Amino acid sequence: MQNLKIFLTIRDKSPYFNTIKAKGNVGIPTIVVGEGEEFIDGSLNINLDNLK
């Protein structure tokens, strides 16, 4: 639950999610890198091994 709270805090402060929130979506799946320095849209076909 703590991870969800952290994600929602970042989501609510970042302009990256403005269009997502305007559509009534939460923004999941999205991978947050660091403290919100970068976002990777979960709908992209990515190799998660590169994130290790």
Listing DSSP states for 15-37 in one string gives GGGHHHHHTT----SEEEETTTT
> For the whole model, what pTM was predicted?
0.65
What is the number of other CB atoms lying within 10 angstroms of the CB of residue 27?
21
- Tell me what pLDDT residue 49 has: 75
Residue 42: pLDDT band (50, 70, 90) is low
Residue 44 is part of which domain span?
A: 2-51
- Predicted confidence (pLDDT) at residue 22 exceeds the cutoff of 90: yes
- Tell me what pLDDT residue 31 has: 78
Enumerate helices (H) and strands (E) in the chain, giving the number of each.
2, 2
Q: Map tokens 């990777």 to a residue.
A: 40
Provide the residue type at 10 as one letter.
I
Average pLDDT value for residue range 31-50: 76
User: What is the number of structural domains in the chain?
Assistant: 1
Contact (Cβ atoms closer than 8 angstroms) between residue 37 and residue 16: no
